[in-house]
């Protein structure tokens, strides 16, 4: 796949709100099959599309890419042929020793690409239009579809009482993180009472009390409240590690995915960083601790 084709695929994934990691080779120390500018996409299932080096380098990129999809962060990955017992993380650089490399060193920038927050705005009044424009300026994926997508992060109702009941019910039923009803305090309370909805699930009057008067100011106050109350992403220390297994030949950590090189033996599946390790294991499994 050429670079333009790969970047077009990345655009398609963004349009479909699919997370991925863009891996770009930025520096090489030969001998290595990759060159600066080579790039690939790492998908959540471990699929790699593109080229960032041979099988062993690809295995490391797969594992590190899957890890980053859990945090949304980016990092510089340095893969060296030195045998290391652990990874070194320092100043945004992850250094991994891969003794199976052909001798060169690779530096690959891994950029996590997560979908922006999906905001559904219901209504066509001036405040609703301001919510659309301000949300777009914040980089959110703002839609005016009356339906509530399963992955919606926020639903903002600014329809002045028109068809708001069904939207509010759907948003609460879907467990949307932030549901806001733009209304006066009295009308908002009356709507929740009529719908038998808990005020803990619907913010009304929506927005922080910043003295907003114009539609634009009201929109800013609503997004400020949404940001202040949204779920915080977990820190890397609290995230569960992706499934990994040690390569029984070289000891490298390998992501446990269908895309990883593997070999079943005596009722157990072993995972490998590259075909060389898999072949060595296949020839002498007992040598590498497999039960025969």
Query: How far, in whole angstroms, is CA 288 from its chain's centroid?
Result: 36
With beta carbons less than 8 A apart as the criterion, state whether 281 and 288 touch: yes
pLDDT at 88: 83
CA-nearest of 166, 162, 165, 143 to 154 is 143
Q: What is the pTM for the complete model shown?
A: 0.79
- In total, the chain counts a number of residues equal to 292
The per-residue pLDDT for 237 is: 47
Q: Are strands 20-29 and 244-246 parallel, antiparallel or unpaired?
A: unpaired
CATH superfamily ID and name for 118-229:
NAD(P)-binding Rossmann-like Domain (3.40.50.720)
Tokens of 241: 């590690």
Tokens (6 digits) for 205: 């009057």
Instruction: Give residue-wise pLDDT tens across range 132-171.
Output: 999 999 999 999 977 899 889 999 999 988 888 999 999 9
H or E segment and range at residue 113:
strand 105-113
What does each C-alpha distance from 177 to 209, 274, 283 come to in angstroms?
A: 20, 43, 54
List the beta bridge partners of residue 143: 120
Pair 108, 52: CB distance under 8 Å: yes
If one counts every other C-beta atom within 10 angstroms of the C-beta of residue 30, the result is: 11
pLDDT the model gives residue 100: 74
Q: Could you state, in order of their start, the residue ranges of all structural domains in the chain?
A: 3-115+242-283, 118-229
Tell me the C-alpha distance between 287 and 246, whole Å.
15
- Tens of pLDDT along the chain (292 residues) come to 788 899 999 999 999 999 999 999 999 988 788 899 999 999 999 999 999 988 889 999 999 999 999 888 899 999 998 866 567 888 889 999 887 776 789 999 999 999 999 999 999 999 999 999 999 999 999 999 778 998 899 999 999 888 889 999 999 999 999 999 999 999 999 999 999 887 788 999 999 999 999 999 999 999 999 999 876 555 554 445 678 999 999 888 899 999 999 999 999 999 999 899 999 999 999 998 876 5
Q: How far apart are the C-alpha atoms of 251 and 13, rounded to whole Å?
A: 34
pLDDT of residue 291: 67
User: What six digits make up the tokens of 220?
Assistant: 């800013």
């Amino acid at each position: 796949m050429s670079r333009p084709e790969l970047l077009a695929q990345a655009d398609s994934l963004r349009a479909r709100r699919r997370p991925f990691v863009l891996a770009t080779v930025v520096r090489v120390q030969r001998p290595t099959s990759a060159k600066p500018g080579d790039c690939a996409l790492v998908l959540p299932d471990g699929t790699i599309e593109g080229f960032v080096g041979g099988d062993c380098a690809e295995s490391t990129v797969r594992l590190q890419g899957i890890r980053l999809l859990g945090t949304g962060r980016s990092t510089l990955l340095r893969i060296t042929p030195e045998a290391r017992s652990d990874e070194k993380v320092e100043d945004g650089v992850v250094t991994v020793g891969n003794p199976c490399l052909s001798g060169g060193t690779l530096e690959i920038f891994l950029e996590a690409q997560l979908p922006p927050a999906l905001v559904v705005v219901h209504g066509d009044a001036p405040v609703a239009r301001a919510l659309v424009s301000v949300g777009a300026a914040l980089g959110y994926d703002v839609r005016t579809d009356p339906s509530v997508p399963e992955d919606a992060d926020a639903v903002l109702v600014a329809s002045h009482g028109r068809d708001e009941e069904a939207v509010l019910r759907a948003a609460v039923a879907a467990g949307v993180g932030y549901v806001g009803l733009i209304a006066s305090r009295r009308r908002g309370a009356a709507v929740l009472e009529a719908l038998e909805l808990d005020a803990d699930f619907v913010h009304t009057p929506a927005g922080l009390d910043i003295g907003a008067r114009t539609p634009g100011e009201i929109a800013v106050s609503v997004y400020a409240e949404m940001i202040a109350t949204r779920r915080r992403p977990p820190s890397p220390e609290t995230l569960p590690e992706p499934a990994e297994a040690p390569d029984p030949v070289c000891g490298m950590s390998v992501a446990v995915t269908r895309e990883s090189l593997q070999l079943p033996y005596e009722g157990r599946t072993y995972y490998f960083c590259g075909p060389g390790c898999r072949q060595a294991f296949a020839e002498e499994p007992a040598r590498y601790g497999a039960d025969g």
